[in-house]
Structure 1
Amino acid sequence: MAEALWYDALGVPHRRVTGTPRIVSLVPSLTETLFAFSLGEAVVGRTGFCVHPAEVKGVPKVGGTKDVRLERLFALEPTHVIANVDENRREQVEAIAAAGIEVIVTHPCRLEDNVALFRLLGGVFDREEAADYAVQAFESVLELARTIAASLPPERVLYPIWRGPWMTVARSTWISAMLEAVGWQTWPAIEEPRYPVIDEESVHRAGIARVLLPSEPYRFGEEHAEEARRLLGADVPVTLVDGEMVSWYGTRAISGLCYLAALRRDLAEALSA
């Protein structure tokens, strides 16, 4: 019988781990997922942005997602490192792989990619039952979200991720896919660049129905709502949203879809009232 292999986002094959793994996660949402898969004791390192679940506080930090302290990481003697195309710097990930450490690279852009991600982590780390449960839960809430979206007219939204300059997301991103699941279509309708700078003249003509201001990566607050309205040059409603619920994949996306579906329904009901 052929040995089972699981492929990461770069097409690199990975075998099921033998022995006890030592995992350093450089991806906050996947640190949370590893704990959800009962792999918390195997996580020996994390970034400073890996803050969920609460139990992660006892895990040593190796720097940030973009500025990993490689000497700290190597000192932990990991067998595996979890990385992401968007969140980590390529040169650092390549340096880790060159040191002989198995690197699992992730890059979910479509919601279906989350299913493959569950299968990958469950297969490599012998947690296939947990992966099955996560897949079933994710697919169930995705169906619910799309049902709610189908009952409402679609809305074009602006989802800024930064200011100074103002930046947003293209439709090739995970964030856009999450919003699309509940009927929010992100502007602009482009695939690349994935995180474009907002063209103020173009956004004025875009027919934006709502601005969604997330809590991360830039921590937008009430003080930025009026600034966003001035950017659009119109009286467009501005809603603050939990950025983790929109931008985190892995197991957080299960509660994220529930959060977005409820928010979409509540805002639509408030508008009709």
Structure 2
Amino acid sequence: MSEQTVDAAGVKHPRAGERPRIVSLVPSITELLFALGLDRQIVGRTGFCVHPRDRVRVVPKVGGTKSVRIDAVRALQPTHLVVNIDENERSTVDALRAYVPHIVVTHPLVPDDNFALFALLGAIFDRQDAAQHLSDALQTQLDNVTARDWPHQRVLYAIWRDPWMTVARDTYISAMLRLVNWHTLPDIDGGPMGAQRYPAFDLNAQWLADVDRVLLSSEPYRFTQAHCDRLAQDPRAAGGLAGKRIELIDGEQVSWYGSRAIDGIGYLQRYASRH
């Protein structure tokens, strides 16, 4: 594995040394840091960093992904802060630059980007062997999913309601779904700065008539079967979604990158096979 130490912001990072103190503001990255064997170096996390459940609970919380408590992070005296372009506010990250020597910016957009993510963190924190193991496991899953012919499906992947929101084609979620030949609608790209990466939509939108199935994600909005039932009966959606399949999908498995992508691809294959 190449020792890639340039992050998503184009910053080249030196090796961390023997005693890094890491605060992660990204749930999937926190899980990845544990998978790399960095348990003792993780000194802070958000309240949404809940995996691995049996090990993360001892790590102090510093707020949410978009409501970070600056003083709480500063008090932990981290050497490294790991953030994500989509999940964290730029103003928060800029404020923390005064207190944290190294800020590692991540921004995976497709499953293959996880290889570079593993290499980046493995090189910075001297966990190259663990990173290579994860890369090998990810490659196996990608080989498995691409070896099959999956029926083409047009899907609406809902992440929020009131307002209803979905995902653009250039998001990580859409790229994951394309592994099983499921293509998200509407057919739009959100752009590099993310202005329309998670667009709102109306239930009477004409393009809904082209949807083959509706997927209600378990996160960030916690959709339930009751929401599926209500949506199927909502008169606003009668024109476009009448008779369409409306079902729940595990948002963590589809949207979490890092080590979760390995299980996530397996989950998607099982899900698509059953549905």
TM exceeding 0.5: yes
- Per the alignment, residue 80 of structure 1 pairs with 80
In terms of mean alpha carbon deviation, does 5-14 or 75-84 score higher? 5-14
The Cα offsets for residues 8-65 of structure 1, whole Å up to 9 and x where unpaired, read as 1111110111221000000000101100100011000000001111211001000110
In terms of mean alpha carbon deviation, does 209-218 or 137-146 score higher? 137-146
1:166–1:197 Cα contact (<8 Å) kept: yes
What letter matches 1:40 in structure 2?
D
Shift in Å, 1:139 = 1.4
2:84–2:107 Cα contact (<8 Å) kept: yes
2:217–2:248 Cα contact (<8 Å) kept: yes
Equivalents in 1 of 2:206, 2:83: separation in Å? 34
Shift in Å, 1:238 = 1.3
Structure 2: any 5+ residue segments left out of the alignment? 191-195
- Per the alignment, residue 228 of structure 1 pairs with 231
What letter matches 1:214 in structure 2?
S
Shift in Å, 1:227 = 3.2
- Per the alignment, residue 245 of structure 1 pairs with 253
Q: Secondary structure at the match of 1:158?
A: strand
1:187–1:206 Cα contact (<8 Å) kept: no
- Per the alignment, residue 17 of structure 1 pairs with 16
Shift in Å, 1:112 = 1.6
- Per the alignment, residue 117 of structure 1 pairs with 117
Shift in Å, 1:147 = 2.4
> 4+ residue stretches of structure 1 with deviation over 3 A?
199-206
Say whether 1:37 aligns with 2:36: yes
Shift in Å, 1:234 = 1.1
Aligned length in residues: 262
Shift in Å, 1:262 = 0.7
- Per the alignment, residue 170 of structure 2 pairs with 172
What letter matches 1:227 in structure 2?
R
- Per the alignment, residue 203 of structure 2 pairs with 200
Q: CA RMSD in A?
A: 1.4
Q: Secondary structure at the match of 1:258?
A: helix
Shift in Å, 1:200 = 3.3
What letter matches 1:57 in structure 2?
R
Change (3 A) 1:80 1:146: same
- TM-score for both structures, normalised by structure 1: 0.92
1:245–1:259 Cα contact (<8 Å) kept: yes
- Per the alignment, residue 103 of structure 1 pairs with 103
Structure 1: any 5+ residue segments left out of the alignment? 268-273
Equivalents in 1 of 2:215, 2:68: separation in Å? 31
Shift in Å, 1:228 = 2.9
In terms of mean alpha carbon deviation, does 93-102 or 152-161 score higher? 93-102
- What is the 5 A alignment of 1:142-157? 142-148=142-148, 150=149, 152-157=150-155
The Cα offsets for residues 74-100 of structure 1, whole Å up to 9 and x where unpaired, read as 000000000001111101101111324
- Per the alignment, residue 137 of structure 2 pairs with 137
1:146–1:183 Cα contact (<8 Å) kept: no
Say whether 1:262 aligns with 2:270: yes
- Per the alignment, residue 187 of structure 1 pairs with 185
Equivalents in 2 of 1:51, 1:115: separation in Å? 23
